[in-house]
């Protein structure tokens, strides 16, 4: 009984010692946690190498208006082909979008006009052969005194006129690219380029000079036709800069200028058409592509203010923020109070100064980390 009491006393003593030792340990952990929380957030070297810094600058205040539009081949580079003759298509040798070279056979066409020209050619060749024989006969008769110089001259003149007619017929047949096949001519590509329009098929018929059979363009220069609603007309003028994006290349922008604005609303769409001209050396823009267009709007204010790229803005708690880099352990969260904005920049006149370094990548991740350490 006595030994049992001693054992219980020893166990109680050990528990007391354990409790006394654990209390400082818990306090130490709390102190370390508070110390860590008090330490400012610092960029380590591996992550810092991924962060982009942008020096803030002032820009002229500008707004932009959003429009939609469509890419088309530039009219000054577009060739619409119309046949010089009526005909029925025997065979088409191209498809929409094909690249063709100048002189390439585009189609073979049967035409009654070619048949008629071929008939005239044969008749004239026979007539010339007869006239040449008659001239020779008259010359022989002249030497025998049975004919006169006048008769010989008249035959020679008729021969000359007939040869001229044949030359004209041959020229026309060559111009129309007549083939050896009866009544058939070939349509050749008048220039090198891409087929951007095709209105011709096998066995189809067409009239001379009435309808465009196909259109060719190099596509190195294109137009974007912009649809402008009546309410936005006062905001846009020729010479305004434009930024274009397409659904095909969402990460790429094209810069252009409004070169022309129509003075008449489109009857069907009830919009004004404006034209933006673009270089397209890499042929990335295709006719028919839908486009999103932002055009610089007319503003009465011409002053400059600090411009913050929109992709650097952070939206939180119903406000906008941006991060300014001072050093690796001092990154400031500053509220953005915009005075004007367009599709690329937000303009401010307080809280930010030119020359300051704006964090322009991973800003949201840094923003959340810094807020945890506040």
User: pLDDT of 253-295, one tens digit each?
Assistant: 999 999 999 999 888 888 999 999 999 999 999 999 999 999 9
Report phi then psi at 282, rounded to 5. Answer: -90, 0
126 occurs within a structural domain: yes
Given a cut of 80, whether residue 36 has pLDDT beyond it is no
Domain's final residue, options 271, 297, 323: 297
91 occurs within a structural domain: no
Distances (CA, A) of 287 to 47, 200, 224, 258, 349: 44, 19, 9, 18, 43
Q: Could you tell me if 290 and 309 lie in one domain?
A: no
Q: What is the CATH number of the domain that holds 349?
A: 2.40.420.20
Given a cut of 80, whether residue 199 has pLDDT beyond it is yes
Residue whose structure tokens are 């095709």: 198
Given a cut of 70, whether residue 300 has pLDDT beyond it is no
Domain with 329, as residue range(s), is: 45-61+303-373
Q: Could you tell me if 251 and 293 lie in one domain?
A: yes
Q: Provide the percentage of residues in the chain whose pLDDT is more than 90.
A: 66
Q: What is the CATH number of the domain that holds 249?
A: 2.40.30.170
Given a cut of 80, whether residue 22 has pLDDT beyond it is no
Altogether, the residues listed in the chain come to a count of: 374
Q: Could you tell me if 273 and 313 lie in one domain?
A: no
363 occurs within a structural domain: yes
Q: Could you tell me if 348 and 315 lie in one domain?
A: yes
213 occurs within a structural domain: no
Q: Could you tell me if 278 and 332 lie in one domain?
A: no
Domain's final residue, options 280, 297, 314: 297
Q: Could you tell me if 239 and 263 lie in one domain?
A: yes
CB under 8 Å to 16, separation ≥6 — which residues? none
- pLDDT tens digits, 131-173: 999 888 888 787 777 778 888 889 999 999 999 999 999 999 9
Q: Could you tell me if 331 and 275 lie in one domain?
A: no
Mean pLDDT value across residues 34-57? 81
What pLDDT was estimated at residue 234?
A: 87
Report phi then psi at 74, rounded to 5. Answer: -65, 130
Given a cut of 60, whether residue 371 has pLDDT beyond it is yes
Q: Could you tell me if 275 and 289 lie in one domain?
A: yes
Q: For the beta carbon of residue 106, count every other beta carbon within 10 angstroms.
A: 23
101 occurs within a structural domain: no
Q: Could you tell me if 293 and 316 lie in one domain?
A: no
Q: Could you tell me if 310 and 263 lie in one domain?
A: no
What pLDDT was estimated at residue 38?
A: 53
Res. 7 pLDDT band, cuts 50 70 90: low
Q: Could you tell me if 290 and 347 lie in one domain?
A: no
Mean pLDDT value across residues 35-59? 83
331 occurs within a structural domain: yes
Query: How many domains does the chain contain in total?
Result: 3
- When mean pLDDT is compared across 99-113, 140-154, 347-361, the lowest value belongs to 140-154
146 occurs within a structural domain: yes
102 occurs within a structural domain: no
Domain's final residue, options 120, 151, 175: 175
CB under 8 Å to 218, separation ≥6 — which residues? 77, 192, 193, 194
Res. 16 pLDDT band, cuts 50 70 90: very low
């Amino acid at each position: 009984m006595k030994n049992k009491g001693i054992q219980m006393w020893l166990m109680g003593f050990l528990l007391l010692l354990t409790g006394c030792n654990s209390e400082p340990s818990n306090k130490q952990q709390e102190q370390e946690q508070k110390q860590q929380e008090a330490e400012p957030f610092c960029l380590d070297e591996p992550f810092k190498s991924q962060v982009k810094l942008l020096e803030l600058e002032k820009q002229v205040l500008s707004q932009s208006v959003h429009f939609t539009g469509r890419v088309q081949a530039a009219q000054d580079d577009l060739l619409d082909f119309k046949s010089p003759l009526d005909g029925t298509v025997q065979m088409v040798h191209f498809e929409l979008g094909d690249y063709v070279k100048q002189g390439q056979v585009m189609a073979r066409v049967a035409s009654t006009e070619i048949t008629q020209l071929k008939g005239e050619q044969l008749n004239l060749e026979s007539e010339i052969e007869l006239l040449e024989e008659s001239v020779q006969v008259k010359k022989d008769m002249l030497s025998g005194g049975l004919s006169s110089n006048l008769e010989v001259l008249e035959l020679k003149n008729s021969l000359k006129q007939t040869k001229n007619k044949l030359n004209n017929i041959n020229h026309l047949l060559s111009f129309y690219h007549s083939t050896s096949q009866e009544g058939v001519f070939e349509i050749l590509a008048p220039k090198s380029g891409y087929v951007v329009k095709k209105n011709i098929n096998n066995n189809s018929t067409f009239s001379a000079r009435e309808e465009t059979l196909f259109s060719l363009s190099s596509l190195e220069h294109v137009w974007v036709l912009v649809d402008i609603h009546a309410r936005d007309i006062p905001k846009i003028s020729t010479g305004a800069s434009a930024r274009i994006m397409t659904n095909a290349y969402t990460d790429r922008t094209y810069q252009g200028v409004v070169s022309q604005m129509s003075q008449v609303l489109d009857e069907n769409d009830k919009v004004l058409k404006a034209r933006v001209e673009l270089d397209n050396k890499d042929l990335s823009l295709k006719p028919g592509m839908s486009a999103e267009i932002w055009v610089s709007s007319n503003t009465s204010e011409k002053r400059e203010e600090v411009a913050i790229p929109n992709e650097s803005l952070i939206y939180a708690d119903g406000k906008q923020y941006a991060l300014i880099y001072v050093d690796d352990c001092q990154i400031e969260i500053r509220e953005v109070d915009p005075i004007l904005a367009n599709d690329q920049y937000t303009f401010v006149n307080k809280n930010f100064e030119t020359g300051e370094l704006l964090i322009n990548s991973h800003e949201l991740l840094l923003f959340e980390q810094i807020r945890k350490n506040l």
